[in-house]
Amino acid sequence: MTTDDQQALGHWINGEHCTSAGGATFTVFNPSDDSPFSVVAEGSAVEMDLAVQAAHDAFQTYRHTSVNERERWLANAAAMLEERKAEFVDLLIDEAGSAISKAQFETGKAVSFIRAAIGMVRQVSGKTLPSDYPGRISLTWREPRGVVAVITPFNVPLIKASRLCANALATGSTVVMLPSEHTPVIALKFAELLSEAGFPDGAVNVVAGDGYTIGDSLVTHPLVRSVTFTGSTVVGKHIQQLCARDNKHVTLELGGKNPLVILNDATLSDAVQGAVRGMFMHQGQACISSSRIYVQKGIYPEFIKAYTGAVSKLGVGDLRDPATIIGPIISDRQRERIKRHIRDAQDKGANIVVGGDWEGNRCHPTVLTNVTEDMECHAEETFGPVVSVYQVEDLDEGLVAANNSRYGLSSAIYTNDFNSALRYARAIESGMVHVNGPSVTDEAHVPFGGVGDSGFGREGTEADIDALTELKWVTMQTKT
């Protein structure tokens, strides 16, 4: 896709593309070389209001669609996305800077999320309850909340769009999506696909633009009943305050500084593989990356040698080459953050065991040791291919260090001792724990989310039934 002589791609509102008031547009760049990728309509509060109104109007009838209809439309969408996998893989490579292995994984995962949402349709149910009063029938049922605001990130734009839109649609709600300004084309093409799958006009709407400029107009819109956001902790807390003011339901999936603990009895090859995958998928631009690794001293030298050897061989080539793992960092802002963290660590005495250099917009995978608490990378999320490795005496010290964080999203441990694994799982302060597996793990039905500054609430098919519906209590008095 190029920008030469092409018309700007419009917002998706009420089943069709539309321009912005005044014809405002912005350019989306390919992060590999910062070349123009697409021109997209730039939204304002005006377009946001049109989108929310369209979703609200559609909700009046969509909420009453049959389970058969919603199941069929979701099944159509999953099949169509699978058929058009190559198109979305290309978009993920050229717009989001994904290596082909990550792009293929993300597209496949998106298909599975939509298919999982099909099962939600018949799970939106209530139950009958006993009553204190003779002749009273007491029951509950669930009703869709209404318009759901879906705010998605740049790093996994298709995964988040598929999960959050499909789950909302499965429960009978309608959607207004605000994608990252770095990856709006993926969101707009996905919305088109849902329309082609049969979803009524207005059921899914997308407004493109800068979230810092127009995000509040979506979150605070009086017709928006629920908000789900994936992004930075700073923005998430701002959204939480706005939702609290209007008493709106909110789900937040925010940042992470995720720990990986490796004990002496771990299988070294498995631990190294998990540490590589858990950190460097999508060049560390993942909220669940294990950017803090704590290795027990008995295995530390051997682990460092094997780990840095594996890291130094990660491919940094053509994104369409299956051997390539490390792609570009999404923007200048993110690149400067990574450079600052590495420079600050160096200046304060950290050792760069491997990496630290750049090739265009790509940061070579970087392993740091001798990292101390006064360094930015110690506690702050770098969101790039930079990992700190620490030596610890035992599990006790590893747990204390792992819990020394304001974040609590994902975590992992490698050990062959059942008691150590269970103790870690119980004591670690995080929303997700993986034993002998990487921190970068997700499935459609699981409760995905964290604690502390890593989020509020959970995503997933079961969790979203609670998040996206209202429970209503109904009684009917009969004559005895």
Dist CA 9 CA 89 (whole Å): 19
Q: Helix 85-94 and helix 184-196: axis angle, to 10°? A: 160
Q: How far is CA 6 from CA 15, 36, 38, in A?
A: 21, 12, 9
CB 444 within 8 A of CB 416: no
CB 100 within 8 A of CB 322: yes
Torsion angles phi and psi, residue 150, rounded to 5:
-115, 115
In the set 165, 243, 287, 363, the catalytic residue is 287
CB 136 within 8 A of CB 480: no
With 0-12 / 13-18 / 19 or more C-beta atoms within 10 angstroms meaning exposed / middle / buried, residue 357 is exposed
Torsion angles phi and psi, residue 305, rounded to 5:
-60, -50
Dist CA 266 CA 313 (whole Å): 23
Q: Using the Cα atoms of residue 101, residue 104, residue 109 and residue 112 in order, give the sign of their dihedral.
A: negative
Q: Is 380 a catalytic residue?
A: no
In the set 47, 106, 253, 381, the catalytic residue is 253
- Residue 11 tokens read as 């917002």
Q: Is 287 a catalytic residue?
A: yes
CB atoms within 10 A of CB 302: 12
- Residue 161 tokens read as 């769009």
- Kindly write down the DSSP assignment for every residue of 253-319, as one continuous string: E-----EEEE-TTS-HHHHHHHHHHHHHGGGG--TT---EEEEETTTHHHHHHHHHHHHHT-B-S-T
* 393 dihedral zone (left: phi>0; alpha: psi -120 to 50; beta): alpha
Identity of the amino acid at 15: G
Dist CA 114 CA 88 (whole Å): 15
Cβ neighbours for 105, distance < 8 A, ≥ 6 positions apart: none
Query: If you ran DSSP here, which 8-state letter would residue 443 be given?
Result: -
CB 254 within 8 A of CB 232: yes
DSSP-based three-state secondary structure for 356: coil
Decide the pairing of beta strands 362-363 and 249-253: unpaired
- Residue 181 tokens read as 């300004």
Q: How far is CA 456 from CA 259, 409, 427, in A?
A: 19, 10, 20
Positions marked active-site: 253, 287
